[in-house]
Amino acid sequence: MPNQPEQTKMRTGSRVVIDALEQAGVTVAFGYPGGAIMPLYDELLDTTIEHVLTRHEQGAIHAADGFARSTGRVGVCIATSGPGATNLVTGICTAQMDSSPVLCITGQVPSALIGTDGFQEADVLGVVTSITKQAYLVRSVDDLPRVMAEALFICKSGRPGPVLVDIPKDVLIAKTSKTCEPVTSLPGYHPAPKLKSSAVKNAHKILKESKQPVCIVGGGCRLSDATRLFREWCDNTHVPVITTLMGLGSTEPGYSGWLGMPGMHGLRRANRAIVDCDVIVAMGIRFDDRVTGKLAAFAPDARIIHVDIDEAELSKLIKVEAPIHADLSETLAAWNALLDEDPIEVFDAWQKQAMDVGDGLRPNDAHDADNIPPTTLLDEVLELIGPDAIVTTDVGQHQMWAAQRVRPSDPKKWVTSGGAGTMGYGLPSAMGAQMACPDQRVLAICGDGGFQMTMAELATVARCKLPLKILLMDNKYLGMVRQWQELFFENRYSAVDLSDNPDFAALARVYGLQAFTLDHVDEMSSTLSAWWNCEGPALLHAVCHLEENVFPMVPAGAGLGDMVESA
Amino acid sequence: MEILTFALHLHRMSILPKILMLCQRLGGEVTYVSAADGRANIVVAAPNEAAHRFAPQIRRLIDVLELTELHAVGLSDADAQTTQERLRHTA
C-alpha cells in the first residue's frame, strides 16, 4: 500500500511527541514510566531516542538538566501523572533558577478523569505554573503538534528555561492528521531583542572614562555561547574579571586578570574589587543576593553597565546607568568591533592592583592525619583531573570549596545548582553530562548530605556503565548548616548530625561500582590516582575533617567589604 | 505603596492566574481585575521598593502580548518624578 501523503497521515499523540523530539535532534531522554504515560513509553520502543531509566523522577530531571548545561541542547525528561510529575518539581525549579532548557513531558490521567480526583491525578499545570517558563495541558490531540513545536522553541530561545507539557493518556492514544513545522516565532514573545548600537557606544564611553573597571560575568555567557567573544573582549581591555558561580569557566584558564568568584564565599580580591571599582560591566548576571551581599553596600562608587537578554533583570535589584537589553554574543561582537575601531587604554596597572589583594583562601586547620583536609583534597583532585573534565557538584560546603578553586576550560564544564541550591543535584546531573559527552571525563563532587538524596541513581550509573567518577566528601554533617549554626547560632547544632552515615564505598560496590576509601592523608595521591584512572564508574569515599568551615565568608546581610576570613 | 494599573492584551486567557500569582509574589495586593476576550485590566497596590519589577516581569511571560502601564493624571510633582524615574529604568 502506498504511503499516505504527509498531510493526511494519521499519527497517535505519542507518535507526535516522538516525531517532534526526533525532529528537534533529541537523542536521549531520561525518565520513569507509569500508568498515564504508558502509550508514550510504548512508542519509545520504535524510536532512535535512547531512553535512560532513572530510579526516581528527580534523578531524571537533574540528568536532563546536566545534559542541557553541558551541551547547550535541550534536555528531555519524562514522567507519569500525579506523583511522577510532582517528583519533577525540585528539578523544574532548579532549571528555572539557572535558566536551563529542560523539556518535561508528563502523562496525565484520561481527560474524562481530570478534576475528579482520579487515581494518580494531580493539577500539574497548577503546581508548575510559577516555576516554568511555560506549561501546557494538552486537551486535544490536534493541538499536540503545535504545542510540542512551541515547547521546544520556548525552552531554548531567548533566556532558556524549563517547559512542561502535560498530556492526558487519551490524547497520547488518539490520532491526528495535524502536523506542525518547527516554530520560530510566537505572538508577543521577543526572545531576541534588537541590539541598539547606541547602547554599546554608551557602554564603551563609560568604560573609557573608567579608571578601575571590573567585569562580572555570569551564566549568560554560557547560555549565549559567548565564551569566545567574551575572551576576545578581555584581551581587548584587560579588565579584571569576576566570574559568578554560574559564570565560572568563562575566562581563559590562564587569564591574568581573573579575580575569581564574588559574594558570600567569594575570593577576597573579587569582593574587594567590587567595593573599590568605579565601573561594573555586568554580563549575563542577575545580581543574586549571594553575589551582592547587602545591596546598599554593593559597589558604592560604581557606574553600572548591564547586558542581559531578559529585560526584567535590568535594574531589578541594582540601578543600572547603561542597560543593554540584548543577547550577550551579539553585544560582545559589536563591542569588540568598536574596540578595534576605537581602542581603549588597557587596564594592566589596575588589574595587577586588584590581583595583588590575594584570594583569602587559607590552609585547612591543623588536624590529625587520620582524616582528610577537604580543601587540600580538592586542590589535589582538581589538579589531577585538569581543566577539561566536566565537574558537577551538589550543594553545600564542598560546592563552595570547589567553586573557589575550579578553573574549567569552558563554562559548559562546570555544572552546579546555583539559584535553587538543590542538594542531590551532583550525581544525576553528572549522569546527564556523561550521556551528553561520552568522550569527556566527568566528575561529580558530592557531600554526604546531598549524595544521600539521590544516591539510588548509582543503579542508573552502573546499568548504563557511565564511566563517571564520584568524589564523596563525607564530614558526617550537613556541613554548611552546621557552619552557620557554629557561627551564628552559638554552636547549637540542630539536626545536622550524620555520624551514622553508611559505609559509602561498600554501598557503591553493592550497586556494582568500583569504590575506594580515603581516610589517611599519606594515601591521598595513590588513592586518587587509582580512583581517577580506573576503568568505568567509581566512587571515592573521602572521610574528611568534621568541622572545617568555608572561608572567606560574608555574613548574610553584610556588605562585601565585611568579609570574614577565619572563625 | 504605589498603585499600578496595567492594561493587558493576552494571547491566551489561561495566563491570567500566572500574572496574578506573580503580582502576589512580588509583594503586591491585587485590588481590581477585569478580563474578557483576551483583554485584562489589573490594579495592584505594590510596595514602593518593588514597584519597578512588576511591568517587566509580567511583560516577559509567554502569552502576554502587550502590557501598558496606565498613570492617573494630576500626579503631584514628587509622585510624577518617582514614576518617571521608575519607567526610565524599566523601559
* CB contacts, 8 Å: B9 with chain A: 188
What is the sign of the dihedral through the CA atoms of A187, A191, A196 and A197? Answer: negative
CB A74 within 8 A of CB A102: yes
- Mean pLDDT across the stretch A31-55? 98
- Mean confidence (pLDDT) of chain A: 96
State which residue of chain B sits closest to A158, comparing Cα positions: B60
* CB contacts, 8 Å: B11 with chain A: 186-188
A557 phi-psi bin (left φ>0, alpha ψ -120 to 50, beta other): left
CB contact, 8 Å: A152 with chain B?
no
> Whole-angstrom Cα distance, residue A527 to residue A524?
5
Please report the pLDDT score of residue A370 as a whole number.
74
pLDDT tens track for A427-484 = 999 999 999 999 999 999 999 999 999 999 999 999 999 999 999 999 999 999 999 9
Q: Which residue matches cell numbers 584570594?
A: A359
Please report the pLDDT score of residue B80 as a whole number.
62
Please report the pLDDT score of residue B91 as a whole number.
44
Residues counted in chain A: 567
Cβ contact A312–B52 (<8 Å): no
pLDDT tens track for A105-134 = 999 999 999 999 999 999 999 999 999 999
Q: Any bridge partners for residue A517, and if so which?
A: A541
* CB contacts, 8 Å: A314 with chain B: 56, 89-90
Q: Which residue matches cell numbers 542581559?
A: A308
Pick among B22, B60, B67, B88 to test the A interface (most A CBs inside 10 A): B60
Please report the pLDDT score of residue A567 as a whole number.
78
Q: How confident is the model at residue A273 (pLDDT cuts 50, 70, 90)?
A: very high
- pLDDT of A383 > 70? The answer is yes
Please report the pLDDT score of residue B73 as a whole number.
66
Please report the pLDDT score of residue B71 as a whole number.
79
pLDDT tens track for A421-440 = 999 999 999 999 999 999 99
State which residue of chain A sits closest to B15, comparing Cα positions: A129
State which residue of chain A sits closest to B12, comparing Cα positions: A187
Q: Any bridge partners for residue A347, and if so which?
A: none
CB contact, 8 Å: B12 with chain A?
no
pLDDT tens track for A327-365 = 999 999 999 999 999 999 999 999 999 999 999 998 776
What is the sign of the dihedral through the CA atoms of A533, A535, A536 and A539? Answer: negative
Largest CA distance in chain B: 39
3-state secondary structure of A210: coil
- Measured between CA atoms, how close is A83 to chain B, in angstroms? 22
pLDDT tens track for A283-342 = 999 999 999 999 999 999 999 999 999 999 999 999 999 999 999 999 999 999 999 999
Starting at the edge strand found earlier in the chain, the sheet holding A241-243 runs A258-260, A241-243, A213-217, A279-283, A303-308, A322-325
pLDDT tens track for A398-415 = 999 999 999 999 999 999
* Interstrand relation of A538-543 and A514-518 (parallel, antiparallel or unpaired): parallel
Q: How many CA atoms lie within 13 A of A480 on its CB side?
A: 18
- Measured between CA atoms, how close is A311 to chain B, in angstroms? 6
A125 phi-psi bin (left φ>0, alpha ψ -120 to 50, beta other): alpha
pLDDT tens track for A230-265 = 999 999 999 999 999 999 999 998 999 999 999 999
What is the sign of the dihedral through the CA atoms of A245, A249, A250 and A255? Answer: positive
- Mean pLDDT across the stretch A517-544? 97
CB contact, 8 Å: A314 with chain B?
yes
- pLDDT of B77 > 70? The answer is no
Q: How confident is the model at residue A1 (pLDDT cuts 50, 70, 90)?
A: very low
